[in-house]
Amino acid sequence: MSKKILILTGDCAEDYEVKVPQQSLQMLGYQVDIAAPNKKTGDMLQLVVHDFTTLDTYIELPGHRISVDVSVSEVKADDYAGLIVPGGRAPEYIRMYDEAIKLVQDFFAAGKPIAVICHGLQLLAAAKVLEGYKVTSYPACAPECRLAGADWQSESVIIDKNLVTAQAWPNHPAWLRAFVELLGASISI
């Protein structure tokens, strides 16, 4: 089995939901590649940090800049052990790229472990792969999940078959542990 993990994302992804999984999986010995549609190897992505103030929704602040490791057009699901789709605003626009949709569908068709968090479920809904899955997401994405045929639940983390979903970055510990277990590895202390 490949020791490579793909993070499929884009500009304005939630910083924590890209960097924390990337570095955590690297710590476990995985090669973690960042891919984004409409970008080529070496291009930079601008990540963002969302924060809650007194508004009814979150505000967006600049986060880190990271480089793209591989173009989506060069990625093959067979080369990776698993897929991560972070949230933020990136899923809202990367779902418009056929190559991103096809890549998600390829990972699902292969039954590979997939970890999706927050607004990342928007990409899965667009890829029409949620039918029959029990999922969670950032609550504002619940209608899209349900329209895509998923059983959306207001839980922190849900594991269903090859898919682990979480509401937001505060759920990282349980979400990442579940993903690592789906990959067939274990974390022991």
Query: Is the model's pTM score more than 0.75?
Result: yes
Helices (H), the chain: 15-27, 90-94, 98-109, 121-126, 142-147, 172-182
User: Catalytic: 172?
Assistant: no
CATH of segment(s) 4-182: 3.40.50.880
Separation between Cα atoms, residue 111 and residue 106, nearest integer Å: 9
Name beta bridge partners: 50: 60
CA distances from 153 to 84, 128, 157 (A): 20, 18, 9
Average pLDDT of 154-161?
98
The pLDDT of residue 172 is 96
Q: Parse the chain into domains and list their residue ranges.
A: 4-182
* Identified catalytic residue from 50, 64, 119, 172: 119
pLDDT single digits (tens) 16-72: 999 999 999 999 999 999 999 999 999 999 999 988 788 787 778 789 999 999 999
The pLDDT of residue 50 is 82
Angle, in degrees to the nearest 10, between helices 172-182 and 15-27: 50
Mean pLDDT of the chain: 95
